[in-house]
Structure 1
Amino acid sequence: METAAHLHVHQLSRTVQRTTGPAQLSVLLIENEQARCMVYLQGAHVASFTPNGQADLLFMSPYSTYEKGKPFRGGIPICFPWFGKHPKRDDLFLHGLVRTKAWELREAIDIADGSTKLVLSTEDDEYTRSIWPHRFSLQLTITVAASLRLEMQVTNTDEQPFSFEEAFHTYFRIGSLQDCSITGLDGCTVVDRSDGNREYSQDGSVVVGGEFVRIFEQAGPVVALHDPVLGRSIRMEQENLKQVFVWNPGDEKAKQNPEVLDAWKDFLCVEQVNSGKAAVVLEKGRTHQSTLVVSSLPYAI
């Protein structure tokens, strides 16, 4: 996590500072009795979450670019209104419009239980409507405690219904890709995107040894990433998110990505998603909320 030393700092609350990071990007630094966290206002992008006495749960690529209007590699990108490639245009960034937008900080609140709450928001503008012709507002509430809680609200401010995809595209820091396993996905229908969208039923724990591009349909409310090397099990609780996407590019694909390269061994994406047939249809004036809670426990299977 970056320090605020030698940077211009504005204290927003007892536990929240606003400062600048690489390329003069606005950054929120949260440090309370339970954890530390770092959030870029561009994309409302959580880049670091470190519970007290533990190592950072999140991975940011050492090769990531930090530029205004370009997505970061790592942390928790917010995906909306599409997940993956745009259905018609290859020239657009993956995963939607909002991870490169400057979000606004609405609230920074110190809670009596020692946690910290941030509320950030963004909405449609002329540029977004030129690509996705709908009016919307997004609000992301981030609660930093011993666990990290993300609540995203999508409101349809248009005059007609619209359909959208969404995801918390989380990059977790791991000790060894070959030694990690994921539980909570047993019995899910799996679509293997690296094998011609082959479908099968998951049997037991998920083990990732190299390139892995698979989506797990109708996932349950709790998934865990077990890491014996770092000695922890990361628990993910999800609400109103029907899919889990597990991704690592593997060695060969990573060599082709200048923001990954040899760092592929150090992360695993376990993402909470609504996409494809799980896309959300939202009526005029209605709000959809999805929630992800991330916590770290001692290693156990």
Structure 2
Amino acid sequence: MASDTQIQVRKIDTEYSLAEITDFGAQVLSWTPRGQNPVVWLSDQASFSGDTTVRGGIPICLPWFGNPRFSPAAPAGAAGNHGFAKTTVWERVDSASSPAVQVPGGKGIEFPRSQMPGNGDIQAGAEAGYKVLTYRLSHKGGELFPHAFSAQLTIEVGKTLRLILEAVNTDDHPFTFEAVFHTYLGFSDLRQCELHGLEHAVFLDTLTDKKASEDQPITFNQSFDRIYDSASNLEIYDSAWRRKIWLKKSGSKSTIVWTPWDRFIKDFSDIPDQEVYRFAGIEFGNARENALLLQPGQSHRLALEIGVDSLPD
């Protein structure tokens, strides 16, 4: 489902931040609060040809995550990591400024708004100054994925960055799916950063295929590809840039932490070697053992909010 034309980029300019978004994959490409370095990282060597995912930003992994051979959602013989939503042109159905973002209802899991951060209910919107884009994707089934579903993504850009993804089973039978916000975050030097919020969470290390847990904040000194069983919010401390990136989520039982480090950076032609310590994949959603079973007519909502605070001197 890749596009056959050059990817077009929309630039979103608000009082508090700047963002770049494309209809290709309904992907946030970058997000930069004013006066800050980019929080959502975009590779300088990313391809905008329309035949591959843009490296960086927040690709939407749907309806499966990771290598399809290990996914409980991918059909037999499926090709391509992370599903096809990220390389499909979504329909843009709305573009507005808050104060109100209307998220559709549904027969499925209620959206736990009390877990969301910010100054109130995310549906009833957020503070003035947010700009909103809404995208839809409809899949009618077939060999690529033999189950019909629709998905809607709402993106709010302002003082923080907010995403709400709702997937609905529009078929006549239940099916399993995975959905992940594959977020690339930017840092001064990953070797000087600490990730808090995953202490004691059990993770699957996909590099060794072993499960383990740690009781300390994560520090980065090696390749990571871990799927944590965790619904916790996160904070990443970046001492060199004197800032704390915080991430709050809803509807997510999995957190994925990924960085190629020196060991695998040569495998990525769209990431400059010198950028290897400037980003990490900190991803939220439901994957592997936390894959979701949707009944006909049922929906599931996945929400993410990203913000940044200054660290005291």
Q: Structures share a fold, TM > 0.5? A: yes
* Aligned equivalents of 1:229, 1:193: Cα separation in 2: 30
User: How many percent of aligned residue pairs carry the same amino acid?
Assistant: 30
Cα displacement string for residues 241-271 of structure 1 (whole angstroms, at most 9, x for unaligned residues): 0011111011121112212251222111111
* Aligned equivalents of 1:91, 1:79: Cα separation in 2: 14
Q: Which of 82, 93, 102 is 1:95 aligned to?
A: 82
Q: Which of 147, 152, 164 is 2:160 aligned to?
A: 147
The alignment status of 1:270 with 2:282, answered yes or no, reads: yes
Shift of 1:63: 2.0
Cα displacement string for residues 123-150 of structure 1 (whole angstroms, at most 9, x for unaligned residues): 115xx62211011101000011110000
Cα displacement string for residues 4-53 of structure 1 (whole angstroms, at most 9, x for unaligned residues): xxxxxxxxxxxxxxxxxxx6322222112121111010001101111122
- Paired residue type of 1:24: Q
* Aligned equivalents of 1:27, 1:257: Cα separation in 2: 23
Q: Is the 8 A contact 1:192 1:214 kept in 2?
A: yes
Q: Is the 8 A contact 1:165 1:276 kept in 2?
A: yes
* Aligned equivalents of 2:59, 2:77: Cα separation in 1: 19
Task: Name whichever structure is richer in strand by fraction.
Answer: 1
Alignment of 1:150-299 (within 5 A): 150-194=163-207, 196-220=208-232, 222-262=233-273, 263-299=275-311
Report SS of the residue matched to 2:216: coil
Shift of 1:114: 1.3
* Aligned equivalents of 1:29, 1:79: Cα separation in 2: 23
Q: Mind listing any 5+ residue stretches in structure 2 that lack a counterpart? A: 70-74, 100-127
Report SS of the residue matched to 2:95: strand
Shift of 1:219: 3.3
Report SS of the residue matched to 2:221: coil
Q: Is the 8 A contact 2:31 2:41 kept in 1?
A: no
Q: Which of 136, 158, 169 is 1:121 aligned to?
A: 136
- Paired residue type of 2:223: E
Give the total of aligned pairs: 274
Greater length-normalized contact order (CA 8 Å, ≥ 6 residues apart)? 2
* Aligned equivalents of 1:219, 1:209: Cα separation in 2: 25
**Large movers: runs of 4+ above 3 Å:** 88-91
TM-score, length of structure 1 as denominator length: 0.87
* Aligned equivalents of 2:195, 2:243: Cα separation in 1: 12
Report SS of the residue matched to 1:24: coil
Q: Mind listing any 5+ residue stretches in structure 1 that lack a counterpart? A: 1-22
CA RMSD between the two structures: 1.6
Shift of 1:210: 2.2
Report SS of the residue matched to 2:143: helix
Q: Which residue of 2 aligns with 1:6?
A: none
* Aligned equivalents of 1:54, 1:257: Cα separation in 2: 27
Shift of 1:214: 1.3
* Aligned equivalents of 2:192, 2:58: Cα separation in 1: 23
Cα displacement string for residues 146-185 of structure 1 (whole angstroms, at most 9, x for unaligned residues): 1000000001111111110110001111111111110011
Report SS of the residue matched to 1:119: strand
The alignment status of 1:45 with 2:27, answered yes or no, reads: yes
